[in-house]
Homo-oligomer: A and B are copies of this chain.
């Protein structure tokens, strides 16, 4: 039996990230649960941010932003960045900032993965501004990659200790691997092929 929960956008769990932008000449960071993939090739992502958010001004001015994925060690700072606005507090002091090729998308060195993005589409909907970005470069801490035969190989993602969130207002960590893409469904695919 199904129970109606009402009109809630209960997508769960969502990855928690810190969005970065240059606002009034300085880096600013905001906590984001409204972030995701829109395309793989070309590489498109989005962030959605309340229209009155301080960060939006900087994204609109420069047409660039970053998405930074924290580890659970950064949880207090991540939560704090969602509690205070860059209007009132200088959040650039919380992290060490670095820049990539765009020059105006500040990124957080302490975050193991950083996406440097150029805005390719922007729109407002209800009380939100949505910034669709093309990833121009992804950065990862050297500690989490090894090179094998000229290919960069990632650590297990659980080692990156990403932070997840849901509308139950809880933060979660990532659990273990339970399968491989385009593999777990193979037996069903073979059954289907036999029936044809």
* Chain A interface residues toward B at CB < 8 A: 1-15, 17, 33-40, 42-46, 48, 67, 69, 72, 75-84, 89, 98, 109, 113-115, 120-121, 123, 125-128, 130, 132, 134-142, 145, 152, 154, 157-158, 160, 162-189, 192
A18 to chain B, nearest CB (A): 12
Q: Which residues of chain B have C-beta atoms less than 8 A from A69's C-beta? A: 11-12
Contact flag A113-B10 (CB < 8 Å), given A98-B2, A174-B175, A182-B82: yes
In the complex, chain B residues whose CB is within 8 Å of the CB of A45: 9, 11
Nearest CB to that of A98 among chain B residues? B2
New A-B contacts (10) at CB < 8 Å, excluding given A5-B137, A84-B189: A1-B141, A2-B139, A11-B35, A33-B37, A34-B38, A39-B127, A44-B125, A77-B185, A123-B123, A164-B175
Contact A36 B36 (CB under 8 A): yes
Residue of B nearest to A179 (CB): B171
Majority SS at the chain A contact face: strand
The residues of B that contact A120 with a CB separation of less than 8 Å are: 125
Name the residue on B nearest A153 (C-beta).
B168
CB pair B6 A137 closer than 8 Å: yes
Residues of B within 8 A of A80 (CB): 184-185, 188-189
Query: Which B residues lie within 8 Å of A126 (CB)?
Result: 39, 42, 44
Contacts of A72 in B (CB 8 A): 178
Contact B162 A157 (CB under 8 A): no
Pair A178/B189 contact, Cβ less than 8 Å? no
Complex alpha-carbon distance, A113 and B168, angstroms: 14
Q: What are the nearest 7 A-B pairs in CB distance?
A: A80-B185, A36-B36, A79-B185, A79-B184, A173-B175, A175-B175, A9-B43
